Amino acid sequence: MLSSKLMPNFAAAQLKLSVLVPDVISRRNSEELMLTKTRSRTAKTNRKAQKPGIEPTVSIPHLMADGSDPAFRHFIHDTLAFSARLQAVRSQLGTVIGLSGTQYTVLLAVAHLSGKDRKIGVNQVAEHLHLSGAFVTMEINKLVARGLVRKHIDSEDRRRVILAVSPKGRALLSELAAAQRPVNDMLFRGLSASDFKKLRKLMSGMVDAADEAAHLIKNTLRSRQRALWDR
């Protein structure tokens, strides 16, 4: 038994505990509740931050890393960016001599492909530029109307039309070369001789692959349309 001297202190202690314990328990319950709410909010935030899985856009193993394709996508985006800038430069160079970018490219192609010992027609220009014969014919007719390209019948095969750049057209291209050279030097300054040789070969193959890919997409769309019609 407690002595009479300790009883008041014990009673006081009990009273104090009766006040403190519920308060401590209440605080702990509040803290646990707050922690639970915090964890719940964090989980919701994480779920929102997690994007749904995106399927890879390529399946060739060496174009992927750990089953994903970010490097491949980066390459595609860089290629598109460079292509867009190249098109812009071409248009600006054409503007210098009063032509559209396409007309300038066709005129330059005719100039480089034709020669004293070589006869070229629309088909050769179209193949060189990877364009349709009908489109190249329209652009060449515009150049002929402006006196920049000449047409004449092949003396050896009268069914064939031969193309040649007129003196006026050559004068314009010579005038443009002074602006053209530093621009091209700037565009491709990062390529070494071996890089250029390798890239030329790769690019030629990639253009062919792009043609095949375009046909694949066309056939896929046709198949889907037929499937919809059959429903």
What pLDDT sits at residue 43? Answer: 42
Please check whether residue 122 lies inside any domain of the structure: yes
Please check whether residue 204 lies inside any domain of the structure: no
Decide if pLDDT at 62 tops 50: yes
Please check whether residue 58 lies inside any domain of the structure: no
Number of domains present in the structure of the chain: 1
What pLDDT sits at residue 32? Answer: 54
Confidence of residue 15 (pLDDT cuts 50, 70, 90): very low
Please check whether residue 82 lies inside any domain of the structure: yes
129: exposed, middle or buried (C-beta count within 10 Å: 0-12, 13-18, 19+)? Answer: middle
Please check whether residue 96 lies inside any domain of the structure: yes
Q: How far is Cα 16 from Cα 1, in angstroms, rounded to an integer?
A: 21
- Residue-number span of the structural domain to which 169 is assigned: 69-177
Average pLDDT over residues 5-18: 42
pLDDT digits (tens, 9 = 90+) for 103-126: 999 999 999 998 767 889 999 999
User: What is the CATH classification number for the domain harbouring 115?
Assistant: 1.10.10.10
